[in-house]
């Protein structure tokens, strides 16, 4: 399909709608998470997995489905992915148990992995020249904006209907997207789409490597990083506390080795001129390699915030899901404003420099938020910090995709887009895992000492309150406030709730600092992208 095809902009609209549904689902769960935790009786690690399993499955399958789409038709893969995603959404909407919900989220991840690389590679092949830059700008703005607006929609649906409607809403959208794709989207294929042996071993190695790594980061605080601190039972199998090493440590080793073997295997297949999931030759292109490092850091920071902030806003500040969604919507506001300005800024400063400006603003926004956070901070101040962060996110995301893929040959667009999307999803899963691990570490540091100096509270009652706050991820604080209002916690009721809220705030700050560290790493990557994209620019500093 050439850039003069009359339906290319309509096709872009359909692809963007499908993309919106997929990206939105990565963040819409956040504000509804306290309600889901309460209804399905989830723990902190369960809550992390509820978001992370979507990203883990997404990341593990992206490259495979990206390549399949190149070979067998991008529209076919796109439509199939939307249908799988909608099926997973229906399953999640009807889930009555935590394990069922996790499986449904995993199925959604399969559908998302079929849709995302297909939409990006289709845009890359449909548009040329200035039209391509515009299309990528729209694509990037949708990515950033929908991820940021997810909490607002999730909060509204949870407050007015039920958290289950965050999944039901995908059914009518998915049906409209399928119809639109059949009418206007091209079923393009890669130029080298002749039959060939698919890299099944690479698929297995990527799933094992990425999945085990994220499992280790999420479960490490619960199971112990080196030595087991509690048992883990799955079905009839139990990993005992008397085992020589923690299952999280074993998973970490398996993840690192699995990723190493995967890279070695892909290098071997490339040398043998066989089909590969990950074309390592693309990483010899500086804008691609450094751009992907930046993309991962941006995703880590974004999803760390989306995971931990709803828990803080609802648990500590006592906001309703709807109001918490409005606070988090400040990110969307900033992202949409920046998305509208990004093209003009890119024309003046260059896309790579706009990405760097975005990262700087993200670091400032998160850093200031970490400084001002307390148990009674104004939601308006939180929103102001998130607007700064959102502007940075909009600038970075809108131009990052085109920067990463700028020097990728069109015949490798499927590989390039799938790799870039995989890196982002790995970053999303790591962002959730790392922020959750930092939150758990913060709980150990602050909750353990929450009642130090409060001699009037019974030690057994204090420990029960600490355990309840940790296990419910702060969702018990609303009930405790109601108990205080009814006089059920005695004269020290307010002091008890304030102590727990202060401890939760300290743990949240640890998560924000973790996000800021990775965003700073993204700034380093963005500087290298600028130098690669503008090699004649004199180095500064």
Q: pLDDT tens digit string along 517-529?
A: 989 888 888 888 8
Give 393 or 104, the one with higher predicted confidence: 104
pLDDT tens-place string over residues 403-436: 777 777 766 766 777 677 778 777 877 787 788 8
Residue 530's pLDDT is what?
A: 81
The answer to whether residues 170 and 112 touch, using CB atoms and an 8 Å cutoff, is: no
Distance CA 25, CA 28 (A): 5
What pLDDT was estimated at residue 3? 43
Quick one: pLDDT at residue 90? 94
Confidence of residue 455 (pLDDT cuts 50, 70, 90): low
Judge contact between 34 and 418, C-beta under 8 A.
Answer: no
DSSP 387-431: HHHHHHHHHHHHHHHHHHHTTS-GGGHHHHHHHHHHHHHHHHHHH
**pLDDT confidence band for 371 (50 / 70 / 90):** very high
DSSP letter string, 47-101: HHHHHHHHHHHHHHHHHHHHHHHHHH-HHHHHHHHHHHHHHHHHHHHT--SHHHH
pTM equals 0.75
Q: Give span(s): CATH 1.20.1250.20, the chain.
A: 8-198+275-279+286-444+507-533
Mean pLDDT score, 231-255:
79
Closest CA to 158 of 54, 330, 310: 310
For 147, list phi and psi in degrees, rounded to 5.
Answer: -60, -35
CB-CB neighbours of 370 under 10 Å: 18
Higher pLDDT, 80 or 499: 80
4, pLDDT greater than 70: no
Q: Name the pLDDT band for 538 (thresholds 50, 70, 90).
A: very low
Secondary structure (H, E, C), 99-112: HHHHHHHHHHHHHH
- The CATH code belonging to domain 8-198+275-279+286-444+507-533 is 1.20.1250.20
Instruction: Name the least confident of 155-164, 221-230, 513-522.
Output: 221-230
281 secondary structure, DSSP code: G
């Amino acid at each position: 399909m050439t850039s003069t095809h009359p339906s290319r902009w309509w096709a872009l609209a359909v692809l963007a709608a499908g993309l919106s549904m997929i990206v939105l689902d990565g963040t819409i769960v956040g504000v509804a998470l306290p309600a889901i935790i309460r209804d399905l009786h989830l723990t902190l690690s369960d809550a992390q997995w509820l978001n992370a399993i979507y990203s883990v499955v997404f990341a593990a399958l992206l490259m495979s489905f990206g390549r399949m789409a190149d070979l067998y038709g991008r529209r076919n893969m796109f439509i199939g992915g939307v249908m799988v995603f909608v099926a997973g959404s229906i399953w999640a909407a009807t889930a009555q148990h935590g394990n069922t919900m996790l499986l449904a989220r995993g199925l959604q991840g399969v559908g998302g992995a079929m849709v995302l690389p297909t939409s990006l590679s289709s845009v890359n092949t449909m548009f040329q020249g200035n039209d391509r830059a515009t299309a990528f700008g729209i694509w990037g703005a949708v990515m950033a904006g929908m991820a940021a607006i997810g909490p607002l929609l999730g909060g509204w649906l949870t407050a007015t209907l039920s958290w289950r409607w965050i999944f039901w809403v995908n059914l009518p959208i998915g049906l409209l997207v399928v119809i639109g794709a059949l009418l206007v989207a091209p079923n393009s294929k890669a130029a080298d789409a002749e039959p060939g042996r698919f890299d099944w071993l690479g698929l297995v190695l990527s799933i094992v490597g990425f999945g085990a790594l994220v499992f280790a980061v999420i479960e490490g605080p619960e199971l112990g990083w080196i030595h087991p601190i509690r048992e883990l039972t799955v079905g009839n199998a139990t990993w005992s506390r008397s085992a020589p090493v923690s299952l999280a440590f074993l998973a970490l080793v398996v993840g690192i080795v699995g990723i190493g073997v995967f890279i070695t295997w892909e290098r071997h297949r490339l040398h043998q001129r066989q089909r590969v999931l990950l074309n390592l030759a693309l990483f010899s292109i500086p804008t691609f390699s450094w751009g992907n490092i930046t993309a991962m850091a941006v995703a880590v920071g974004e999803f760390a915030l989306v995971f931990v902030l709803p828990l803080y806003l609802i648990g500590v500040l006592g906001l309703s899901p709807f109001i918490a969604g409005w606070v988090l919507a400040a990110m969307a506001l900033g992202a949409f404003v920046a998305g509208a300005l990004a093209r003009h800024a890119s024309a003046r400063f260059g896309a790579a420099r706009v990405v760097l400006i975005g990262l700087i603003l993200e670091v400032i926004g998160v850093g200031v938020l970490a400084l001002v956070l307390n148990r009674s901070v104004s939601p308006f101040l939180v929103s102001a910090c998130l607007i700064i962060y959102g502007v940075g996110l909009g600038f970075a995301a809108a131009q990052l995709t085109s920067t990463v893929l700028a020097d990728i040959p069109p015949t490798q667009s499927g590989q390039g887009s799938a790799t870039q999307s995989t890196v982002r999803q790995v970053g999303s899963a790591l962002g959730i895992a790392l922020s959750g691990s930092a939150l758990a570490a913060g709980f150990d540091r602050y909750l353990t000492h929450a009642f130090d100096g409060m001699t009037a509270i019974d030690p057994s009652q204090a420990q029960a309150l600490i355990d309840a706050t940790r296990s419910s991820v702060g969702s018990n604080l609303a009930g405790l406030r109601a108990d205080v209002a009814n006089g059920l916690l005695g004269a020290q009721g307010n002091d008890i709730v304030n102590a727990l809220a202060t401890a939760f705030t300290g743990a949240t700050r640890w998560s924000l600092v973790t996000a800021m560290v990775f965003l700073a790493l993204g700034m380093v990557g963005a500087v290298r992208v600028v130098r690669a994209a503008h090699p004649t620019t004199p180095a500064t500093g």
